[in-house]
Protein backbone atom coordinates (compact mmCIF):
# COMPACT_ATOMS: atom_id res chain seq x y z
CA UNK A 1 0.00 0.00 0.00
CA UNK A 2 1.41 3.39 -1.02
CA UNK A 3 -0.42 5.47 1.63
CA UNK A 4 0.71 9.09 1.34
CA UNK A 5 3.24 9.82 -1.40
CA UNK A 6 5.24 13.03 -1.59
CA UNK A 7 7.40 14.31 -4.43
CA UNK A 8 10.13 15.36 -4.65
CA UNK A 9 12.05 13.90 -1.70
CA UNK A 10 14.80 16.53 -1.86
CA UNK A 11 15.06 19.94 -3.48
CA UNK A 12 17.50 22.85 -3.42
CA UNK A 13 16.23 26.25 -4.51
CA UNK A 14 17.66 29.71 -4.81
CA UNK A 15 15.98 32.61 -3.02
CA UNK A 16 13.10 33.93 -5.10
CA UNK A 17 12.52 30.73 -7.08
CA UNK A 18 9.13 29.04 -7.01
CA UNK A 19 8.18 25.41 -6.77
CA UNK A 20 5.28 23.10 -6.01
CA UNK A 21 5.41 20.17 -3.61
CA UNK A 22 3.13 17.34 -4.61
CA UNK A 23 1.18 15.01 -2.35
CA UNK A 24 -1.20 12.17 -3.15
CA UNK A 25 -3.02 9.66 -0.94
CA UNK A 26 -4.71 6.44 -1.98
CA UNK A 27 -6.79 5.82 1.15
CA UNK A 28 -9.86 7.80 0.08
CA UNK A 29 -9.42 10.18 3.02
CA UNK A 30 -11.32 13.44 3.11
CA UNK A 31 -8.83 15.49 5.13
CA UNK A 32 -5.33 16.39 4.02
CA UNK A 33 -2.64 18.54 5.68
CA UNK A 34 0.68 20.24 5.05
CA UNK A 35 3.13 20.56 7.94
CA UNK A 36 6.67 21.83 8.25
CA UNK A 37 9.14 20.39 10.74
CA UNK A 38 12.06 22.45 12.03
CA UNK A 39 14.62 21.47 14.67
CA UNK A 40 13.41 22.14 18.21
CA UNK A 41 10.03 23.45 17.07
CA UNK A 42 7.85 20.44 16.41
CA UNK A 43 5.47 20.05 13.50
CA UNK A 44 3.56 23.19 12.54
CA UNK A 45 0.46 23.22 10.35
CA UNK A 46 0.73 25.31 7.19
CA UNK A 47 -2.61 24.57 5.48
CA UNK A 48 -5.21 21.90 5.62
CA UNK A 49 -8.14 20.74 3.52
CA UNK A 50 -11.14 19.17 5.25
CA UNK A 51 -12.63 17.99 1.96
CA UNK A 52 -12.25 18.31 -1.78
CA UNK A 53 -12.70 21.93 -2.79
CA UNK A 54 -11.97 23.47 0.61
CA UNK A 55 -8.74 24.76 2.13
CA UNK A 56 -7.97 26.64 5.34
CA UNK A 57 -4.94 28.36 6.81
CA UNK A 58 -3.05 26.74 9.62
CA UNK A 59 -0.54 28.16 12.07
CA UNK A 60 2.14 29.32 9.57
CA UNK A 61 0.52 29.97 6.15
CA UNK A 62 2.49 33.07 5.06
CA UNK A 63 4.52 32.53 1.89
CA UNK A 64 2.57 29.43 0.86
CA UNK A 65 -0.44 28.56 -1.27
CA UNK A 66 -2.25 25.26 -1.65
CA UNK A 67 -4.51 23.52 -4.12
CA UNK A 68 -6.80 20.56 -3.40
CA UNK A 69 -6.85 19.29 -6.96
CA UNK A 70 -9.17 16.37 -6.21
CA UNK A 71 -9.80 14.01 -3.34
CA UNK A 72 -6.41 12.34 -3.78
CA UNK A 73 -4.07 15.27 -4.37
CA UNK A 74 -3.08 18.28 -2.27
CA UNK A 75 -0.21 20.47 -3.46
CA UNK A 76 1.81 23.15 -1.67
CA UNK A 77 3.34 26.04 -3.61
CA UNK A 78 6.11 28.41 -2.66
CA UNK A 79 5.74 31.42 -4.93
CA UNK A 80 9.00 33.17 -3.99
CA UNK A 81 11.18 30.98 -1.80
CA UNK A 82 13.00 32.49 1.18
CA UNK A 83 15.78 30.97 3.33
CA UNK A 84 13.33 30.89 6.28
CA UNK A 85 11.35 28.29 4.35
CA UNK A 86 14.21 25.81 4.53
CA UNK A 87 12.57 22.88 6.30
CA UNK A 88 11.22 19.37 6.00
CA UNK A 89 7.67 19.40 4.66
CA UNK A 90 5.20 16.64 5.47
CA UNK A 91 1.85 15.92 3.91
CA UNK A 92 -0.70 13.96 5.93
CA UNK A 93 -4.21 12.59 5.52
CA UNK A 94 -6.98 11.45 7.81
CA UNK A 95 -10.47 9.98 7.92
CA UNK A 96 -10.83 10.61 11.65
CA UNK A 97 -13.99 12.38 12.75
CA UNK A 98 -11.89 14.83 14.78
CA UNK A 99 -9.88 15.68 11.65
CA UNK A 100 -6.48 15.07 13.21
CA UNK A 101 -3.66 13.78 10.97
CA UNK A 102 -3.37 10.04 10.83
CA UNK A 103 -1.02 9.03 8.02
CA UNK A 104 2.06 11.00 6.98
CA UNK A 105 4.23 10.89 3.89
CA UNK A 106 8.00 10.58 4.21
CA UNK A 107 8.61 14.27 3.66
CA UNK A 108 10.28 16.67 1.24
CA UNK A 109 13.60 18.10 2.39
CA UNK A 110 13.80 21.61 1.01
CA UNK A 111 16.86 23.88 1.20
CA UNK A 112 16.72 27.47 0.06
CA UNK A 113 20.02 29.23 -0.52
CA UNK B 1 7.02 29.59 26.79
CA UNK B 2 5.92 26.73 24.56
CA UNK B 3 2.46 25.27 25.11
CA UNK B 4 3.92 21.76 24.99
CA UNK B 5 7.34 20.90 26.43
CA UNK B 6 9.24 17.73 25.62
CA UNK B 7 12.81 16.82 26.52
CA UNK B 8 14.73 16.34 23.24
CA UNK B 9 17.00 13.60 24.64
CA UNK B 10 18.63 11.50 23.40
CA UNK B 11 17.45 8.91 25.87
CA UNK B 12 19.64 5.80 25.70
CA UNK B 13 18.48 2.56 27.33
CA UNK B 14 19.54 -1.11 27.14
CA UNK B 15 17.35 -3.60 25.31
CA UNK B 16 14.58 -4.92 27.55
CA UNK B 17 14.35 -1.80 29.71
CA UNK B 18 11.12 0.02 30.49
CA UNK B 19 11.13 3.41 28.79
CA UNK B 20 9.27 6.45 30.06
CA UNK B 21 8.72 9.39 27.70
CA UNK B 22 7.01 12.52 28.98
CA UNK B 23 5.42 15.80 27.96
CA UNK B 24 4.12 18.69 30.00
CA UNK B 25 1.66 21.29 28.79
CA UNK B 26 0.28 24.62 29.91
CA UNK B 27 -3.06 24.89 28.08
CA UNK B 28 -5.85 23.36 30.17
CA UNK B 29 -8.10 23.33 27.06
CA UNK B 30 -6.22 20.37 25.58
CA UNK B 31 -8.61 17.44 25.47
CA UNK B 32 -7.12 14.83 23.15
CA UNK B 33 -3.60 13.47 23.53
CA UNK B 34 -1.57 11.57 20.99
CA UNK B 35 1.83 9.96 20.60
CA UNK B 36 3.54 9.65 17.24
CA UNK B 37 6.65 7.65 16.42
CA UNK B 38 9.03 8.98 13.77
CA UNK B 39 11.87 6.92 12.39
CA UNK B 40 14.85 8.71 10.89
CA UNK B 41 14.09 10.17 7.44
CA UNK B 42 10.45 9.06 7.69
CA UNK B 43 7.13 10.69 8.46
CA UNK B 44 5.45 10.39 11.87
CA UNK B 45 3.05 7.52 12.49
CA UNK B 46 0.20 7.68 14.98
CA UNK B 47 0.97 5.34 17.87
CA UNK B 48 -1.50 6.08 20.66
CA UNK B 49 -4.58 8.27 21.07
CA UNK B 50 -6.25 9.06 24.38
CA UNK B 51 -8.99 11.38 25.57
CA UNK B 52 -9.49 11.08 29.27
CA UNK B 53 -7.16 10.99 32.25
CA UNK B 54 -5.87 7.55 33.08
CA UNK B 55 -4.07 4.78 31.23
CA UNK B 56 -4.53 3.23 27.80
CA UNK B 57 -2.62 0.12 26.86
CA UNK B 58 -1.75 -1.28 23.42
CA UNK B 59 0.67 -4.19 23.44
CA UNK B 60 3.99 -3.04 24.88
CA UNK B 61 2.87 0.61 24.89
CA UNK B 62 0.94 2.40 27.64
CA UNK B 63 -0.19 6.01 27.37
CA UNK B 64 -0.92 7.86 30.60
CA UNK B 65 -2.67 11.22 30.97
CA UNK B 66 -2.79 13.29 34.16
CA UNK B 67 -4.88 16.35 33.36
CA UNK B 68 -4.64 17.72 36.91
CA UNK B 69 -0.84 17.91 36.58
CA UNK B 70 -0.89 18.71 32.84
CA UNK B 71 1.45 15.79 32.23
CA UNK B 72 1.34 12.89 29.78
CA UNK B 73 3.58 9.86 29.48
CA UNK B 74 4.28 7.01 27.10
CA UNK B 75 5.71 3.82 28.59
CA UNK B 76 7.37 1.17 26.46
CA UNK B 77 7.85 -2.24 28.08
CA UNK B 78 10.53 -4.71 26.99
CA UNK B 79 12.09 -2.10 24.71
CA UNK B 80 13.66 -3.32 21.46
CA UNK B 81 16.30 -1.80 19.16
CA UNK B 82 13.47 -1.39 16.63
CA UNK B 83 11.87 1.09 19.06
CA UNK B 84 14.76 3.50 18.42
CA UNK B 85 13.07 6.55 16.97
CA UNK B 86 11.90 10.04 17.87
CA UNK B 87 8.63 10.12 19.82
CA UNK B 88 6.39 13.15 19.41
CA UNK B 89 3.57 14.02 21.75
CA UNK B 90 0.65 16.02 20.39
CA UNK B 91 -2.40 17.62 21.96
CA UNK B 92 -5.65 18.89 20.57
CA UNK B 93 -7.91 21.71 21.71
CA UNK B 94 -10.95 23.45 20.23
CA UNK B 95 -10.13 26.97 19.11
CA UNK B 96 -12.98 29.48 19.19
CA UNK B 97 -11.24 31.82 16.76
CA UNK B 98 -11.14 29.19 14.00
CA UNK B 99 -14.11 27.05 15.03
CA UNK B 100 -12.10 23.86 14.77
CA UNK B 101 -9.66 21.70 16.69
CA UNK B 102 -5.96 22.55 16.44
CA UNK B 103 -3.16 20.11 17.11
CA UNK B 104 0.01 21.23 18.93
CA UNK B 105 3.09 19.01 18.69
CA UNK B 106 5.98 18.65 21.08
CA UNK B 107 9.41 18.84 19.51
CA UNK B 108 10.12 15.14 20.13
CA UNK B 109 12.34 12.93 22.27
CA UNK B 110 14.96 10.82 20.53
CA UNK B 111 15.13 7.29 21.96
CA UNK B 112 18.02 4.90 21.42
CA UNK B 113 17.64 1.29 22.53
CA UNK B 114 21.02 -0.39 22.70
CA UNK B 115 21.22 -4.14 21.84
Each residue of B63-98: pLDDT tens digit? 999 999 999 999 999 999 999 999 999 999 887 877
CB contacts of B37 in chain A (<8 Å) are: none
Give me the pLDDT at residue A2, please.
75
Percent of chain A residues topping a pLDDT of 70:
96
Note the pLDDT tens digit of each residue in B24-76: 999 998 989 999 999 999 999 999 988 878 899 999 999 999 999 999 999 99
Candidates A42, A98, A107; nearest CB to B43: A107
Supply the pLDDT for residue B54: 87
Nearest chain B residue to A94 by CA: give it.
B46
Contact residues on chain B for A43, CB-CB shorter than 8 A: 44, 88, 90, 105
Write out pLDDT tens, residues A15-33.
Answer: 999 999 999 999 999 999 9
Burial code (b: 16+ CB inside 10 Å, e: under 16) for A17-31 equals eeeebbbbbeeebeb
pLDDT at residue A97 greater than cutoff 70: no
Average the pLDDT over A41-60 and give the result.
91
Instruction: Supply the pLDDT for residue A19.
Output: 95
Q: How many CA atoms lie within 13 A of A26 on its CB side?
A: 5
Amino acid sequence: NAGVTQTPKFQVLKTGQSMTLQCAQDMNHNSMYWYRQDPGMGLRLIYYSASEGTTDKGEVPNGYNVSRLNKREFSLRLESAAPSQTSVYFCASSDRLDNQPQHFGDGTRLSIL
Amino acid sequence: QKEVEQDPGPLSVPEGAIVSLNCTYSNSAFQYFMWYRQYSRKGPELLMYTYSSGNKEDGRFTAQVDKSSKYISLFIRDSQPSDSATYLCAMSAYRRDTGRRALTFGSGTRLQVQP
